[in-house]
Chains A and B, each alone.
Chain A
Amino acid sequence: MADALIVELAGLRAGYGEIQVLWGIDIAIPKGEITALIGSNGAGKTTLMRALSGLIPIESGSYLSEGVNLSQASAATILSRGIVHVPEGRRLFGAMNVQDNLLMGAYSRRVSSSELMRDLDRVYTTFPKLFERRNQASATLSGGEQQMCAIGRGLMSAPKLLMIDELSLGLSPLLVEQLVAALRTLNNEGVSILLVEQDVITALDLCHSAFVMDMGRIVRAGSGQSLLADPIIGEAYLGVLRD
């Protein structure tokens, strides 16, 4: 059973030095699904992702992936388990061209160059725009193209779980729709996705299940549809007024 979970957290606490942000997170993310993480600014969503990818240490609690304990693991080890973090604000290597950015995604994989080329092709097929701009410095891309490049870079790491922080930030609704369609395709190909998203309707519509965070804790969980129908969620995040 535990092997069917790509991420399983129990009582996870983490923060920045003296400042504790996460106060005991319990989450189970099943393989092959899209899971959304929603919550207001400062709820701890990004911190949770940073803890999951090993950018900040986990103070206590357990962090398992497919039954393997990752609570003390380095970022490189976590990456090698296929848990890949597409950070908030894309964090591309701006002065590098698109293709070099994508290759950086495959940095820690010891694979043949033919396999690398095949994976590059796959990213270019998913995002044809990136192929057109492969020799262009990534800082010169539009916001949407940068997000494609960031996701593509994540794909080059051969993810089992792709964690995307703020997919839609600063993008037009049309672009968000394209990215959402791309994520659906990836998910159909077997990649599990954890999505942190400000746009609650998009997130809940896309996901199989979702968690709601507030003040560093998980305050609600359920399927996307059930949370959309939840009056408390409606009031807190969707601006729906109770009668």
Chain B
Amino acid sequence: MLAAQIVVNALVLGCLYACIAIGFSLVWGVLNVINLMHGSFIVLGAYFAWSLYQGFHIAPWYALAIAAPLFFLFGYVIQRLILNRVITAPVLVTLTLTFGLDLILNNAMIYYFKADYRKLILTPPTGSVSIAGAVVPVDRLIATAAALALTGVLYLILRRLRVGRAIVAVRLDRDAAVLMGVDVNSIYAIAFGLGTALAGCAGVLMALIFPISPLTSTAYLGKAFVVCVLGGLGSVSGALAGGILLALIEGVGSAMIGPAHAITLSFMLLIAFLILRPQGLLGRKGFE
């Protein structure tokens, strides 16, 4: 009974973790930028969903359709105007820049939304269903399905569209992509826009489950990191595997040693993976 609940919870949460991580992994892989703003983008997405629900009673799953293009544009502009100036610099420079931008964005959110925890509470509640002896709230199930769908959309963009092929090509061999006539700067901006859109959408979905505060951004960033290392950079399936593994560890850890130590456990696993299997479970050089 408990085991079933843990497994179902892990599957539900794991898909959301994957959704958090793929945008981060895409930006890391294509631009070679470790985007420390990713956590704040997620929180901003959560506030976006919360505001739309408070103000206009628009349910988060509808808010996705508005959030995706807005966040894409936001990321696109940040890359074009700011990140692009240092894109060829060593990774420490871009890391410092995104760290600084994150401070600005995060403090702006604290200023505007306050540091109080908010919760998006659907009225009327959606109720819950029972799966294999485990109880799952319907809104969580919807969030999971939406996270899976977003992951699938990214996969299809990268595999089927011309621009997706160019993104993969830039990731695999920048110079060769230039020889194919690819405008690398615009591909960088598109990839960063996609990463931001995925973060924003993940935030919208997170608003259904977790309390919202600017202070949670580092926790999201940490999860994105761990999932990328566990699953391996560069594959959508890796992010899924990493996300579910992380959620499973947190679930089992919470049940056995308490939720406070579950996060410690996941970071210990992160270190173990970095030492023993740095390419992750399914890491590969392409982005598939």
Contacts and interface: CB of A to CB of B under 8 A. Distances in A.
Contacts of B284: 95
A64 to B, nearest CB: 20
Contacts of A54: 178
B178 A55 contact: yes
Given A55-B175, A87-B176, A107-B162, A93 B169 contact: yes
Given A55-B175, A91-B173, A108 B168 contact: no
A96 B175 contact: no
B165 A100 contact: yes
A150 to B, nearest CB: 9
Contacts of A157: 180-181
A105 B179 CA distance: 9
A55 B173 CA distance: 13
A80 interface: yes
A75 B181 contact: yes
A79 B179 contact: yes
Contacts of A103: 162, 165
A105 B180 contact: yes
Contacts of B173: 91-94
Contact of B169 (A76, A79, A104): A104
Nearest to A95: B286
Contacts of B178: 54-55, 75
A96 B180 CA distance: 15
Interface residues of A, number: 25
B114 interface: no
B183 interface: yes
A209 interface: no
Contacts of B7: none
A35 interface: no
A107 B178 CA distance: 10
B288 interface: yes
A91 B179 CA distance: 10
Interface in A76-131: 76, 79-80, 84-85, 87, 91-96, 100, 103-105, 107-108
B165 to A, nearest CB: 6
A100 B284 CA distance: 17
Contacts of B176: 87, 91-93
A53 interface: yes
A108 B181 CA distance: 5
B179 A87 contact: yes
Interface in A7-64: 53-55
A199 B278 CA distance: 41
A193 B179 CA distance: 17
Contacts of B165: 96, 100, 103-104, 107
B285 interface: yes
Pick from B166, B176, B183 the residue with the most CB of A within 10 Å: B176
B172 interface: yes
Nearest to B181: A108
Contacts of A92: 173, 176
Given A85-B179, A107-B181, A108-B182, A94 B286 contact: yes
A100 B180 CA distance: 12
Pick from B169, B172, B182 the residue with the most CB of A within 10 Å: B172
A53 B181 CA distance: 10
Given A104-B165, A107-B162, A107-B165, A96 B286 contact: yes
A75 B169 contact: no
A96 B171 CA distance: 11
A79 B180 contact: yes
A104 B180 contact: yes
A94 B286 CA distance: 8
Contacts of B169: 93, 96, 104, 107
Contacts of A95: 168, 172, 234, 284-288
Given A85-B179, A87-B179, A95-B172, A104 B286 contact: no
Interface of B: 162, 165-166, 168-169, 172-173, 175-183, 234, 284-288
12 contacts: A54-B178, A55-B179, A75-B179, A87-B176, A87-B179, A93-B169, A94-B173, A94-B285, A95-B172, A95-B288, A96-B169, A108-B180
- Nearest 6 CB-CB pairings of A with B: A95-B286, A108-B181, A91-B176, A76-B181, A79-B181, A93-B172
